[in-house]
């Protein structure tokens, strides 16, 4: 595989972005937003100088003329929102726009320093969708604010209705996030290291079992997985039965590994991929899961022409919508390359174009070796370029000694921190399977990509 590559400190501890059928808030949860249905006009909602607003057919219509430099240069919002630090809330609303645009919604202090406890990009289309963002408040104040930041776009019209902010109960309902719905990460009994250990008893197997095969790691799904809906469904069902959180990787995009390294392939056509990824998401359904979407897919643009890049973004947009619409309890993360491949601002633009607003966030350092600290700095920079507060996860499977600027089975690398929540990102995950080859290269010149090598595994254990 090519150079592929907190809960956040800003407190998006339980934040997730879903598009679901509108549902009434629980009767016991007091509503913190006033006039969220706009049945009583626009008050107490306010708008900035670069917008105008009016109630139109029972929803709020906001006209945005365009030409502003920042998202917050064109805003609407409501102040005097009371928040309690450490309590869980859910911000929900129905929204659409006259054309496809990106915007940002926040829950923050109404006045300087405008500290935010939720900042989430939203991808708007001409079809109204229900957005729901659970989060844990990182500040306590009677002077909070709910806002919609609409600037940095060409002129358009924004429509919003049924805005709700409620405190969530201690028992998480469906859609509240897979971490709360499970009790730790799922250990894959069918991983390549586990299968090798079971077939090759002995001292080497004992070391690999202790250090690798008994740890949670991702299962990768691609063209080799057979009927993808059935394969995914079986895997998440096994994890759900154990009340554990499975980590999955979707790795089958048409034109995969455009730079012609060791992982080329993917679906045979764009149409085939659209069907495949739709079935992947449907296979998860309402069960909890974490999914990394298409490693390398936003990193290898230098090897693609403009038409290929447009098609790639189109396919990823479709993928993000499938997880949003068909896998309500999945946190999905678009791959965002790594600290040594793409500049943060460039990657943020690619993520935005690929539909990151439809999913939980993005993943960094997949199948690479950059330290957790380097990866967190890169992830923070990408998140900031997206407007701030966008969650990300870090692949720590092989980053214990950091990168030596080689990506294909380099010597002297070491296992990193096993899967956990927090630790410098929303989650640290073993996305790459430790011991699986990057290709016939480096210290494993005869081992094909994706094939487990016990020698590579021992090297990662020993840092050799």
Catalytic residues: 257, 296, 438
Sign of the alpha-carbon dihedral angle for 86, 92, 98, 101: positive
Distance CA 185, CA 314 (A): 31
3-class DSSP state of 220: strand
- The pair of three-digit structure tokens given for residue 40, joined into one six-digit string: 């009583």
Cβ atoms of 111 and 382 within 8 Å: the answer is: no
**Beta-strand pair 88-97/129-136:** antiparallel
How does DSSP classify residue 442? T
Cβ(397)–Cβ(418) below 8 Å: no
- DSSP symbols for 34-102: SSTT-TT-STT-EE-TT-EEEEETTEEEEEEEE--SSGGGSEEEEEEEEE-TT-EEEEEEEEEESS-EE
Six token digits for residue 105: 């919604």
The 3-state DSSP class for residue 315 equals helix
């Amino acid at each position: 595989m090519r150079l592929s590559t907190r809960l956040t400190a800003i407190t998006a501890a339980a934040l997730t972005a879903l598009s679901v059928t509108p549902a009434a808030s629980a009767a016991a949860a007091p509503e913190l937003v006033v006039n969220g249905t706009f049945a009583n006009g626009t008050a107490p909602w306010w708008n900035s100088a670069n917008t105008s607003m009016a109630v139109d057919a029972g929803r709020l219509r906001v006209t945005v003329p365009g030409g502003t430099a920042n998202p917050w240069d064109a805003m609407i919002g409501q102040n005097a929102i009371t928040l309690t630090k450490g309590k869980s809330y859910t911000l929900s609303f129905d929204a659409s726009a006259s054309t496809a645009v990106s915007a940002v919604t926040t829950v923050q202090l109404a006045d300087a320093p405008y500290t935010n406890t939720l900042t989430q990009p939203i991808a708007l289309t001409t079809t109204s969708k229900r957005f729901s963002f659970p989060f844990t408040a990182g500040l306590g104040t009677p002077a909070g604010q709910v806002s919609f930041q609409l600037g940095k776009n060409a002129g358009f019209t924004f429509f919003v209705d049924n805005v709700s902010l409620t405190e969530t109960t201690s028992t998480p309902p469906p859609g509240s996030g897979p971490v709360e719905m499970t009790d730790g990460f799922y250990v894959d009994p069918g991983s390549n290291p586990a299968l090798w250990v079971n077939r090759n008893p002995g001292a080497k197997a004992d070391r690999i079992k202790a250090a690798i095969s008994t740890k949670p790691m991702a299962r990768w799904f691609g063209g080799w997985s057979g009927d993808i809906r059935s394969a995914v469904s079986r895997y998440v069902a096994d994890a759900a039965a154990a009340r554990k959180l499975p980590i999955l990787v979707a790795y089958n995009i048409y034109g995969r590994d455009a730079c012609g390294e060791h992982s080329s392939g993917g679906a045979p056509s764009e149409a085939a991929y659209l069907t495949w990824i739709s079935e992947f998401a449907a296979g998860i359904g309402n069960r909890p899961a974490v999914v990394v979407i298409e490693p390398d897919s936003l990193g290898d643009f230098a090897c693609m022409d403009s038409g290929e890049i447009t098609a790639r973004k189109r396919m990823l947009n479709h993928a993000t919508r499938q997880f949003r619409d068909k896998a309500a309890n999945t946190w999905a993360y678009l791959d965002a390359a790594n600290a040594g491949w793409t500049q943060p601002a460039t990657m943020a633009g690619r993520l935005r174009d690929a539909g990151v607003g439809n999913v939980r966030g993005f993943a960094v350092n997949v199948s690479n070796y950059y330290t957790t600290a380097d990866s967190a700095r890169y992830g923070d920079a990408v998140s900031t370029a997206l407007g701030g507060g966008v969650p990300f996860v870090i692949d720590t499977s092989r980053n214990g000694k950091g990168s030596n600027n080689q990506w294909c089975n380099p010597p002297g690398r070491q296992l990193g921190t096993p899967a956990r929540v927090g630790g410098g990102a929303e989650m640290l995950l073993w996305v790459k399977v430790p011991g699986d080859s990057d290709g016939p290269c480096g210290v494993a010149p005869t081992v094909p990509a994706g094939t487990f090598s016990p020698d590579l595994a021992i090297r990662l254990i020993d840092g050799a």
